[in-house]
Amino acid sequence: MAYSDKVIDHYTNPRNVGTLDKSKNNVGTGLVGAPECGDVMRLQIEVDSNNVITDAKFKTFGCGSAIASSSLATEWLKGKSIDDAITIDNMDIVEELALPPVKIHCSVLAEDAIKAAINDYRVKNGLAPIESEKSHH
Amino acid sequence: MKIPVYLDNNATTPMDPRVLEAMLPYFTEKFGNAASRNHAFGWAAEEGVDYAREQVAQLIGANEKEIIFTSGATEGDNLGIKGVFEMYQDKGNHIITCTTEHKAVLDTCKHLEKQGARVTYLDVKSDGLIDLKELEAAMTPQTILVCIMYGNNEIGVIQPVKEIAAIAHKHGALFMTDGTQAVGKIPVNVDTDGIDLMAFTGHKMYGPKGVGALYVRRKNPRVKVTAQMDGGGHERGMRSGTLNVAGIVGFGKAAEICRLEMDSEAKRLSALRNKLQSSLLELEESYVNGNVENRLPHVANISFKYVEGEGLMMAMKDLAVSSGSACTSASLEPSYVLKSLGLSDDLAHSSIRFGLGRFTTEEEVDYAIEVTKKAVNHLRDLSPLWEMFKEGIDLDKVEWVEH
């Protein structure tokens, strides 16, 4: 299966690989997937007092498309407000990376990771988690 | 050194140029139908086929009359298993095989289950070998066939074929083996091994694709299989269809080269394979899958924990290898062979099969070591699991959010 140039670019030069201090109150962490499924994504965001994401980091265990999806997600998250970030849809990732149907689950996982990170941040700061309106499961 | 480097010789092998040379006249000059008995064109083709039949028979210590040419090992597996089931129905309906067989065997057995066969699928031990006591216990008076592969295609382990044959025969059953990965690589002898039927193929031993053989024993006992294709009654009535003369000639030449060069080739390849393996095991948390003593000389299947196989292969794009991860398939299921060894899904996902071959050089192996180490380290830098492992977190105790 041939990967798109954008997937190869993100895979070869992943953006924002790393770890934020998950104990900090302004850091939200999303850990989704499972080793036995062959995909685990950890996505972290750091949020300022205006609810704007100032930093985003990821680490991913998975195929090239999973790594590219999470790398792209961190790029998109930086500078976005929490409210805008929550609207990122997996199909936006599919389109940007030209993922084939068999790799759509990678984008779903990235969307789940974004929502999980935002909710982790919300819960830490006394806000109710946002329920996902659609279920991919 | 040419890039990419091919280390997937269990999937298929390049054809030896000597094989191609032997085949060429049979496309244009000696194009006759080997079944045309009344003119020189047919005779020339028949002569080529007869010679090849001897070459193939000699490689496995058989008589040339015991070689039935097929389109490949899948057809051989189908013909052998279905043919025995139909031919020996009066005697019984029980077949014994094992869970790590190729799909050509497993799916054929599943097909026969719908036709009234009872099939026992033996588990394998964690080293990939079957337990002979379990085989013994599974034998019944209705058992007509024991079908266990010679060498495994994913991990390269060699089953104790002689012992398996002895148990089958003691209980009056036939012994068939899928010899696809073993024939031409290690000494296989149908008499000393006690093999009654064996499927194998040309393209795994530097011959052409689309041609293989089913060995069917003629003496002690005389074995018969019911034909699965009706037609002109070629191949002693067991496999109709105009013979693939050029392919068969190539298969024969490939068999001859394997017979003559096997010893030196196996020595060279196992030394290279051992170098590759020991270098890669220098990486932390890497493991060889399958029994390392009873193993084909050119295969190493290694799991690199905390990295995912398909992602790893992408970082090794200049190396043609195969992964136990099935991230590309719709099922997302990792290799059933590795799972049969008791490997957890994550380790199965993290496995790479390296298959060396006749044309693999030491320079290529050194390159493979360098590329693989770099790729594993790159992916571990990206892996949250590796970070958690390094922090001492027990990954089995994490509550994963499956998707």
Structural domain contains residue A11: yes
Q: How far is B372 from chain A (nearest CA, A)?
A: 15
B153 closest CA partner among B359, B304, B336, B326: B336
pLDDT of B140 reads 98
pLDDT bracket for residue A1 (50, 70, 90): low
pLDDT 10s digits, A44-67: 999 999 999 999 999 999 989 999
- A127 three-state secondary structure: coil
Q: What is the pLDDT of residue B344?
A: 86
Inspect the interface and report whether the beta carbons of A36 and B349 lie closer than 8 Å. yes
The answer to whether residue A134 sits within a structural domain is no
| Residue type for position A73 | A
Would residue A17 count as lying in a domain?
yes
Q: Are the CB atoms for B277 and B271 separated by under 8 Å?
A: no
Look at chain A and report how many structural domains it folds into: 1
- H or E element in which residue A27 lies: strand A27-34
pLDDT of residue A137: 45
Contact residues on chain B for A137, CB-CB shorter than 8 A: 403
- Spacing of C-alpha B353 from chain mean position: 13
3-state secondary structure of A79: coil
Is-contact B184 B205, C-beta < 8 A?
A: yes
| Angle made by CA atoms B23, B241, B197, in degrees to the nearest 5 | 85
CATH number (domain holding residue A77)? 3.90.1010.10
Q: Which residues of B touch A59 (CB under 8 A)?
A: 382-384, 387
Q: How many CB atoms lie within 10 A of CB B19?
A: 24
Give the H or E element holding residue A24.
Answer: none
Please, which pLDDT band fits residue A28 given cuts at 50, 70 and 90? very high
pLDDT value of residue B176:
98
Contacts of A42 in chain B (CB under 8 A): 384
Kindly report the nearest CA distance between residue B338 and chain A, in angstroms: 13
Contact A112/B at CB under 8 A: yes
pLDDT at B314: 87
Catalytic residues of A: 37, 106
Q: Which two tokens stand for residue A8?
A: 């190869």
Residue A58 domain-assigned (yes or no): yes
- Radius of gyration of chain B measured on its C-alpha atoms: 22
- State how far the Cα of B85 lies from the Cα of B90, in Å rounded to an integer: 9
Would an 8 Å CB–CB cutoff place A134 in contact with chain B?
A: no
Task: Confirm whether A129 is domain-assigned.
Answer: no
Q: Does A130 map to a domain?
A: no
Domain membership flag for residue A45: yes
Buried b (16+ CB within 10 A) or exposed e, A125-134: eeeeeeeeee
Residue ranges of chain B with per-residue pLDDT less than 70: 325-332, 402-403
Residue A135 lies in a domain: no
CA dist A53 to A26, A74, A79, A85, Å? 10, 10, 5, 9
CA distance B218 to B204: 26
Q: Which residues 6+ apart lie within 8 Å of A120 measured at CB? A: A28, A29, A30
Indicate whether this model's pTM tops 0.80: yes
Amino acid at B270: S
Task: Tell whether A63 lies on the interface with B, counting CB pairs under 8 A.
Answer: yes
Cα–Cα distance, A33 to A44 (Å, whole number): 15
The whole-number pLDDT of residue A134 equals 53
Q: State pLDDT tens for residues A61-109.
A: 998 999 999 999 999 999 999 999 999 999 999 999 999 998 999 999 9
- Give how far B307 is from chain A: nearest CA, Å: 6
Phi, psi of B137 (to 5 degrees): -70, -25
Give the pair of three-digit tokens for residue B401: 């959010």
User: Chain B within 8 Å of A18 (Cβ-Cβ)?
Assistant: no
Domain extent, residue A50, equals 5-124
The per-residue pLDDT for B328 is 43
